[in-house]
Amino acid sequence: MNRRRTHALALVATALVTGMGTPTPSPTPTPTTSPSPSPSATQSDGTLQILTYRGYAEYGGVSPKVNWVGTFEKETGCRIARLDTVQTAEEMAARVTQRSYDVISAGPALAGALIADKLVQPVEPAKVSDYKDLTERFRAMTTVSGKAYGVPYLWGYHEFVRGPATTGSAGPDDVFASGRTALKDSPLTIADAALAEGSAKKPYELSEAALDKAMALLESGKDRTYWQNPIDLVKGFATGALDYAQVTPYLRVLLQKSGLPVETVATRTTTGWVDSWMLGANIPDTACAYRWLNWVTAANAQRDAAAWAGMAPANPKACKGRARAMCETYGVGDAKRIDRVQFAVRPPGGCAGEDGECTDYAAWADRWRELAE
């Protein structure tokens, strides 16, 4: 590896480790056979037990500038008795089966599982002061039968980039045809393949036939890699091992600023996700939990989290100061850009797909496991 590429790798690695948490937590649901929550696992003495992604709630261990959890304790009088953070969606799915938490940050697939398994309870929007400031489209994503089950926090979307070794114009077909492509290691990436294949209008509601078409496209690149850690993308482009990759806009900007000349591949639509805070079931006293939900919906807290995690805030009022760059990168407030995004939902199963009954998440997970092995 030459000096320029080594320098680029060091710059991006430093930014990923110290400047953000988990940039693309692709949410994975819990198994449906989860143990019932125990009331003794949660607190009624002014304390909270929290499960979230690394970078979503910081005590300032990396930098005193991001000690917003400590500030929460001082301003509310509630104490964080347990703060469990994970790096990947797989870790998140495992943790929620091991113990109960007062509040959990969950993506759409995990949220769907928690709601279905009754491991979370509805949120009362009237008790969350800035709830109406959150983007309406995101609020609707965790509303079931008229009940709100989540408070939107951070969101993002995917795009494809290509390296300097590629020539001419490029589209999604080129990305999926190449073996020198890195895709996000998640069953939900099947939705991206379905969009690229072109016949599915609703990429998370795939019939068996549509799922087969998406998997055939994925299986066409035998040497393709599937990434969990963004550092793998940095190494791939820095060493010339990658031609294409699935990234977030933040990661693309980070690669470009570090001297790795990647550029966006044009697509008509793309996939995204929203992470929301949820209330655990069987909480004996929700006072501090609601104080937390009020805290994380406020513009100041979302501003800090978006800037630190490299994602966009669900509260557009946070798009000032430190978070301005993230809001511009993701196009907060730009309806044309956001309308291109097919935000993830838990593949439901049982619905009427375009050419047959929809497959459920379990089917997606099984097919993905076979692919990635």
Closest to 162 (Cα-Cα) out of 145, 180, 149: 180
Spatial distance between the Cα atoms of 54 and 16, rounded to a whole number of angstroms: 11
Structure-block tokens of residue 310 = 């490299």
- Residues 295 and 266 reside in one and the same domain: no
- Residues 229 and 277 reside in one and the same domain: no
- DSSP E strand boundaries for 221-367: 225-227, 244-247, 263-264, 270-280, 312-313, 341-343, 352-353, 356-357
- Residues 44 and 112 reside in one and the same domain: yes
Q: Is residue 338 part of a domain?
A: no
* Crossing angle (nearest 10°) for helices 230-239 and 3-18: 170
Contact at 8 Å (CB) between 73 and 80?
yes
Closest to 195 (Cα-Cα) out of 344, 77, 46: 344
Contact at 8 Å (CB) between 184 and 332?
no
Which residue segment(s) compose the domain that 368 sits in? 3-12+157-271+344-372
| Location of structure tokens 């992604």 | 53
Spatial distance between the Cα atoms of 175 and 193, rounded to a whole number of angstroms: 10
- Residues 33 and 124 reside in one and the same domain: yes
- Residues 24 and 135 reside in one and the same domain: yes
Edge-to-edge order in the sheet of strand 263-264? 225-227, 181-184, 244-247, 159-162, 263-264
For the chain, report the end-to-end CA distance as a whole number of angstroms.
Answer: 29
pLDDT digits (tens, 9 = 90+) for 164-200: 889 888 899 899 999 999 999 999 999 999 999 998 8
- Residues 165 and 147 reside in one and the same domain: no
- Residues 250 and 206 reside in one and the same domain: yes
Contact at 8 Å (CB) between 155 and 274?
yes
Spatial distance between the Cα atoms of 323 and 326, rounded to a whole number of angstroms: 5
| Location of structure tokens 């690669």 | 255
Structure-block tokens of residue 364 = 């997606």
What is the pTM (predicted TM-score) of this model?
A: 0.87
Spatial distance between the Cα atoms of 169 and 223, rounded to a whole number of angstroms: 22
Structure-block tokens of residue 329 = 């990168």
Residue type, position 173, single letter: D
Q: Is residue 292 part of a domain?
A: yes
Neighbour count for residue 182 (Cβ, 10 Å):
23
Q: Residue 248: which H helix or E strand, with range?
A: none
pLDDT, residue 276, reads 97
- Residues 42 and 112 reside in one and the same domain: yes
Closest to 79 (Cα-Cα) out of 51, 104, 45: 45
How many domains does one find in the chain? 2
Closest to 153 (Cα-Cα) out of 107, 219, 114: 107
Q: Is residue 339 part of a domain?
A: no
pLDDT one digit per residue (tens) for the chain, 373 residues = 455 455 555 545 445 544 443 334 333 333 333 323 333 334 456 899 999 998 898 776 545 555 778 889 999 999 999 999 988 777 888 898 888 899 999 988 889 889 999 999 999 999 999 999 999 999 999 999 999 999 999 999 999 999 988 988 889 989 999 999 999 999 999 999 999 999 888 999 999 999 999 999 999 877 889 998 888 998 999 999 999 999 999 999 999 988 889 999 999 999 999 999 999 998 889 999 999 999 999 999 999 999 999 999 999 999 999 999 999 999 999 999 999 999 999 888 777 766 778 999 999 999 999 998 7
- Residues 232 and 116 reside in one and the same domain: no
Spatial distance between the Cα atoms of 72 and 85, rounded to a whole number of angstroms: 17
Q: From its phi and psi, is residue 217 left (phi > 0), alpha (psi between -120 and 50) or beta?
A: alpha
Structure-block tokens of residue 147 = 């009940």
Q: Is residue 237 part of a domain?
A: yes
Q: Is residue 196 part of a domain?
A: yes
Structure-block tokens of residue 347 = 């593949």
Question: Quick one: the chain helix, strand, coil %, rounded to 5?
Answer: 40, 20, 40
pLDDT, residue 101, reads 94
- What is the CATH classification number for the domain harbouring 123? 3.40.190.10
CA angle 283-49-68, nearest 5°? 125
Spatial distance between the Cα atoms of 17 and 13, rounded to a whole number of angstroms: 6
- Residues 174 and 115 reside in one and the same domain: no
- Residues 237 and 170 reside in one and the same domain: yes
